[in-house]
Amino acid sequence: MKTALSFARDFSSFAIKGGRMYYAWLLFLAFFILVGSYTAYIQFTQGLIVTGATDQVTMEAFFANFVFTAHVAAAAVLVVAPGYFYHRKDLKELAVMGEVIAMVFVATGITFVLFHMGRPDRTWHIIPGLGYMNFPNSMLAYDTIVLNVYLLLNLIGVSYILFKKYVGTFHEKQLALWFRPIVFLAIAWGPLIHIITAFVLASNARVGMWATAVLPFAFLTMAGASGPALVVLIFLLTRRYTNLEIGNPVIDLMTTIIAWSLGILMLVFAAEFFTLLYPSTEHADSLKYNMFGHNGLNMYVPWFWGTILALVSSFIALLFRKVRHSYNRLLPLVCFVVFFAILIEKPMILIFPAFSPTPLGEYAEYHVTLIEFFNVLFVWALGFLFLTLILKGAIGILTGEVRHEKSSASS
């Protein structure tokens, strides 16, 4: 118990220490949290009417961002898996960072879902026993289960690894018997949360754009691109500003995964667009609206082509060795573009245009309101704040800067 307390104390005191840039970053996040608390208050007292959602386009920016957080959370296993499946030692060391990313992004996603709900105060209705969960019918019930289990698995994994390393007893032979199965389960669970999230969308026959068998594949490939893109950015920052050493081979593996994922994503998009556009039935209406607009409603058109262009050009860029090895200039830029392109893809291609035409033939545009925008930033800022603090503390433990007094005294 005492050790746990000192763990918490040492961990957090290291996490909040940093240079001027670090504080500037935290302050930057704090600003959006401050503004966001106010806008969140407005939303929770006045209802979702303050967002741009309507009965025609009923999913808002929160839902779109939730899908994206699921991308990144699922993809974080790509940091964990090589270490445990292929015994890559360098990645096994870093596995805990992947788990932290997964944990924080799942939590961020759940927060987005709470913003999405009309009655977040009634969340307890879905807890079996206390309320009633429509299992096994409702896809959202499955999603609730897999997301929360994934959060729990990663929470257990992260705290166990970090604590063991903190007290200095993280050796193969001294690990608890349950630890390895938990890690492997978490690795399998990553894609699972993503497939289920895809099914939440694909289960709606009415939304032609989603009722497609390639949706889970599209999600997984986009996860494989956006997640490692964030991981590369984090690793590059980490090795630049902290004492943790991350070798080039680790970065290269991540870059390879991004390139492959983007390549497969091209195929998935091509398959989807072809299947819709060649017969050009009513199922293609949403896509046509997205690509070319409809009777003057064309706000999504530039977003569509811009996103596709960004994804294709990042894919081509990553085919060049020079770009892949330009660790300080081009690679972070490409990763940034991939991350943002896929983030933008969610509302502007996947979610909003899919609602037009509505079942009664209406076309509608979605305009994100300022309050909604700041609420999205609020959740992101919260997510990145926790990500920064936990990663910082974890790095301290990985480098040995944060150690239990007894073990540090002996070393």
Partner 1 sequence: MSKENIEELKDADDVQQGRRDFLKHMCTSSAAALVVATTPAEAVEAASNPDADTTVAEYFQGHFLLMSDEEKQKAIARLEKRYSAQYSKKTTVSNTEAPDGVLFGYALDIGKCIGCRRCVHACVKENNQSRNDPEVQWIQVMKMPKGNISFTPDQLEKGYPEKSEFGDYGVQVGGNAYKTAGLSTEDAQNYYNDELVPDKDFFYMPVQCQQCEKPPCVKACPVRATFRDHAGVVLIDYNWCIGCRMCQLACPYHARRFNWGEPQLPAEEMNPKTHYFGNRPRMRGVMEKCTFCVQRTREGRNPACLEACPVGARKFGNLLDPDSDVRRVLATKRVFRFKEEYGTYPKFFYYIG
Q: Are 189 and 149 in contact (CB under 8 A)?
A: yes
The first and second tokens of residue 292, run together, are: 């070319």
Among 54, 298, 369, 399, binds partner 1 (CB under 8 A): 54
**Whose Cβ is closer to partner 1: residue 360's or residue 409's?**
360
Does residue 55 belong to the site contacting partner 1 (CB under 8 A)? yes
Distance CA 375, CA 372 (A): 5
**Whose Cβ is closer to partner 1: residue 67's or residue 95's?**
67
Q: Are 364 and 57 in contact (CB under 8 A)?
A: yes
Distance CA 190, CA 315 (A): 24
Does residue 361 belong to the site contacting partner 1 (CB under 8 A)? yes
Does residue 362 belong to the site contacting partner 1 (CB under 8 A)? yes
Phi-psi region of 180 (alpha: psi -120 to 50; beta: other; left: phi over 0): alpha
On the 0-12 / 13-18 / 19+ scale of CB atoms within 10 A, 361 is: exposed
**Whose Cβ is closer to partner 1: residue 63's or residue 374's?**
63
What is the identity of the amino acid at 230? L
> Contact region for partner 1 (CB under 8 A) — 17-25, 41-49, 215-223, 402-410?
41-49
- Closest approach, Cβ 289 to partner 1, in A, equals 12
- Closest approach, Cβ 288 to partner 1, in A, equals 11
Q: Which of the 8 DSSP states describes residue 16?
A: T
Does residue 47 belong to the site contacting partner 1 (CB under 8 A)? yes
Q: Are 342 and 71 in contact (CB under 8 A)?
A: yes
**Whose Cβ is closer to partner 1: residue 33's or residue 200's?**
200
Name which of residues 129 to 168 contact partner 1 (CB under 8 A): 131-134, 137-141, 144
- Closest approach, Cβ 329 to partner 1, in A, equals 43
Name which of residues 100 to 129 contact partner 1 (CB under 8 A): 116-123, 125-126
- Closest approach, Cβ 51 to partner 1, in A, equals 8
| Binding pattern for the stretch 201-240 against partner 1, x by CB under 8 A and - elsewhere | --xxxxx---------------------------------
Does residue 359 belong to the site contacting partner 1 (CB under 8 A)? yes
On the 0-12 / 13-18 / 19+ scale of CB atoms within 10 A, 281 is: exposed
- Closest approach, Cβ 112 to partner 1, in A, equals 12
- Closest approach, Cβ 43 to partner 1, in A, equals 10
The first and second tokens of residue 174, run together, are: 């001294």
Find residue 128's DSSP bridge partners: 131
**Whose Cβ is closer to partner 1: residue 139's or residue 349's?**
139
> Contact region for partner 1 (CB under 8 A) — 43-51, 152-160, 224-232, 368-376?
43-51
Q: Scan for tokens 């999504």, then name that residue.
A: 300
The string over 47-57, giving b where at least 16 C-beta atoms fall within 10 Å of a residue's C-beta and e elsewhere, is: ebebbbbbebb
Residue 165's alpha-carbon distances to 1, 95, 288, 393, 411, in angstroms, are 16, 13, 54, 12, 14
- Closest approach, Cβ 359 to partner 1, in A, equals 4
**Whose Cβ is closer to partner 1: residue 55's or residue 172's?**
55
**Whose Cβ is closer to partner 1: residue 60's or residue 99's?**
60
Among 13, 256, 280, 281, binds partner 1 (CB under 8 A): 280
Q: Are 105 and 29 in contact (CB under 8 A)?
A: no
Does residue 53 belong to the site contacting partner 1 (CB under 8 A)? yes
Distance CA 192, CA 223 (A): 12
Residue 281, C-beta contacts closer than 8 angstroms, at least 6 positions apart: none
Widest pairwise Cα distance in the chain:
75
- Closest approach, Cβ 196 to partner 1, in A, equals 13
Distance CA 58, CA 43 (A): 16
- Closest approach, Cβ 141 to partner 1, in A, equals 5
**Whose Cβ is closer to partner 1: residue 284's or residue 335's?**
284
Distance CA 41, CA 385 (A): 20
Interface positions with partner 1 (CB under 8 A): 45-51, 53-55, 58-59, 116-123, 125-126, 131-134, 137-141, 144, 200, 203-207, 280, 282, 357-362
